Amino acid sequence: MITGASSGIGAAFARQLAAKGKNLILVARRKERLVNLANDLQQHYGITAEILAADLSNLTDIEQVENHIAEIENLDMLINNAGFGTVGRFVEINLSRQIDMINVHIIAGVRLCRAALPGMIARHNGAIINVSSIAAFIPTPGNVTYSATKAYLVTFSEALQTELVGTGVKVQALCPGFTYTEFHDSSEYEGFDRSQIPKMLWISAEEVVTSSLKALERSQVIYIPGFKNRLLVAVARNSITSPLLLALIRRKLQK
């Protein structure tokens, strides 16, 4: 099951897992996108791809996905990928969008993990990828709830994996940096210019997914795709360089 499968990283996971012969359940709000992707993958790879239209900021829809998980007898992979960003100072931007973000990133992620785990543990087979971000390590001004929800997913995944040792279930917090997807095309990012970010920091969704699946094979719990992103996170976590990085980000945002 892949949430946020209608575009970007989620769709790339769908394509790469279908190519490996996995049957899929694709979850997102845009049903037509899911139908087209499912048809395409079924035709190309001879798999079955089911679709589930759900708004994961809505608790009733989250429950619907949980109930679906309870009915599946062989769910061996859950990818909590649905997500979005907002732009602007926490105190100034729409609060309900921040609550929606907490629901999509945290509440849906946690509830779907809780729904999937009993079956995975009983079968001694399973993998969960929670899609976080390098923002989890960089408490960025203008991105407060985003950084905080993504940090939750890192700690949650890391702690969960320690509980799951010996169960046959793996957990990964996938922490991409700037990735070419539709993420920055939303109305919230109106006026955002990708060229503001150095080109060398951008990576493709396909590359994120390929390297994440490889990292899962070697049981890497926190995985940051791309050497430059790993370097950026190292700078952000170092007590001497971190204030410099944050000052640089603040200056860039003020321009």
Ligand X SMILES: NC(=O)c1ccc[n+]([C@@H]2O[C@H](COP(=O)([O-])OP(=O)(O)OC[C@H]3O[C@@H](n4cnc5c(N)ncnc54)[C@H](OP(=O)(O)O)[C@@H]3O)[C@@H](O)[C@H]2O)c1
Residues with catalytic function: 146
Q: Which of 205, 128, 141 has its CA nearest to residue 173?
A: 128
Q: Is 63 in the site for ligand X (CB under 6 A)?
A: no
Select 30 or 124, whichever has its Cβ closest to ligand X: 30
Smallest separation, CB 102 to ligand X (Å) = 11
| Cα 14 from chain centroid (whole Å) | 13
Token digits of residue 123:
């079968």
Contacting ligand X (CB under 6 A), which of 10, 126, 225, 226? 10
Q: Is 138 in the site for ligand X (CB under 6 A)?
A: no
Select 31 or 123, whichever has its Cβ closest to ligand X: 31
**Judged by CB under 6 A, which stretch of 15-23, 24-32, 115-123, 220-228 contacts ligand X?**
24-32
For 43-69, letters b (16+ CB in 10 Å) and e give eebebebebbbbbbbeeebbeebeebb
Q: Is 212 in the site for ligand X (CB under 6 A)?
A: no
Q: Is 82 in the site for ligand X (CB under 6 A)?
A: yes
**Judged by CB under 6 A, which stretch of 66-74, 159-167, 179-187, 225-233 contacts ligand X?**
179-187
Q: Which of 71, 35, 73 has its CA nearest to residue 51?
A: 35
d(CA 81, CA 17) in angstroms, rounded, equals 14
Q: Is 133 in the site for ligand X (CB under 6 A)?
A: yes
SS3 state at 94:
coil
Which residues neighbour 12 within 8 Å (Cβ) at sequence distance 6 or greater? 205, 206, 208, 209
**Judged by CB under 6 A, which stretch of 16-24, 77-85, 113-121, 136-144 contacts ligand X?**
77-85
**Judged by CB under 6 A, which stretch of 51-59, 109-117, 212-220, 246-254 contacts ligand X?**
51-59
According to DSSP, residue 174 is labeled: E
Q: Beta strands 203-204 and 179-180: pairing type? A: parallel
Select 123 or 158, whichever has its Cβ closest to ligand X: 158
SS3 state at 132:
coil
Rg of the chain over Cα atoms, rounded to whole angstroms, equals 18
d(CA 184, CA 191) in angstroms, rounded, equals 10
Return the bridge partners of 180, or none: 204
Q: Is 176 in the site for ligand X (CB under 6 A)?
A: yes
According to DSSP, residue 29 is labeled: S
Contacting ligand X (CB under 6 A), which of 1, 17, 24, 28? 28
Return the bridge partners of 202, or none: none
Contacting ligand X (CB under 6 A), which of 130, 145, 172, 181? 181
Contacting ligand X (CB under 6 A), which of 39, 122, 182, 241? 182
Contacting ligand X (CB under 6 A), which of 65, 78, 104, 232? 104
Instruction: Tell me which residues touch ligand X (CB under 6 A).
Output: 4-10, 28-30, 33, 54-57, 81-84, 104, 131, 133, 176, 178-179, 181-183
